[in-house]
């Protein structure tokens, strides 16, 4: 059984506190959270985006996993 990355649960709790409205946020919201441009996230092959209407979104669970694996310093 795979182990969770360190700080995964803390990252998920922080994201859910910051974005309490749902399980998915837009890429611009994720970019603002990280303090980077959205095009930088979209250019990152490791960043977990999903279609959200006509734009892309990020599922909070996947965002927390990504933060745990790569951290804010990756972007």
pLDDT in tens, 28-61: 999 999 999 999 999 999 999 988 788 889 999 9
The span from the CA of 38 to the CA of 9, in Å, is 25
The mean pLDDT value of the chain amounts to 89
Residue 1 in any domain: the answer is no
Q: CB neighbours (10 Å) of residue 5?
A: 16
Residue 39 in any domain: the answer is yes
CA distances from 35 to 6, 14, 19, 32, 48 (A): 22, 16, 16, 5, 17
Domain that holds residue 17: 8-70
pLDDT value for 72: 67
Please give the tally of structural domains in the chain.
Answer: 1
Q: CB neighbours (10 Å) of residue 20?
A: 7
Residue 57 in any domain: the answer is yes
Residue 43 in any domain: the answer is yes
pLDDT value for 32: 95
pLDDT value for 2: 67
Residue 56 in any domain: the answer is yes
Residue 34 in any domain: the answer is yes
Residue 19 in any domain: the answer is yes
């Amino acid at each position: 059984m795979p182990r969770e990355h360190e700080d995964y649960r803390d990252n998920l709790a922080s994201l859910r506190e910051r974005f309490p409205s749902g399980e998915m946020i837009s890429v611009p919201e994720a970019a603002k959270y990280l303090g980077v441009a959205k095009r930088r996230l979209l250019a990152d092959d490791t960043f977990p985006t999903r279609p959200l209407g006509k734009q892309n979104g990020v599922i909070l669970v996947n965002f927390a996993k990504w933060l745990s694996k790569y951290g804010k310093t990756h972007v």
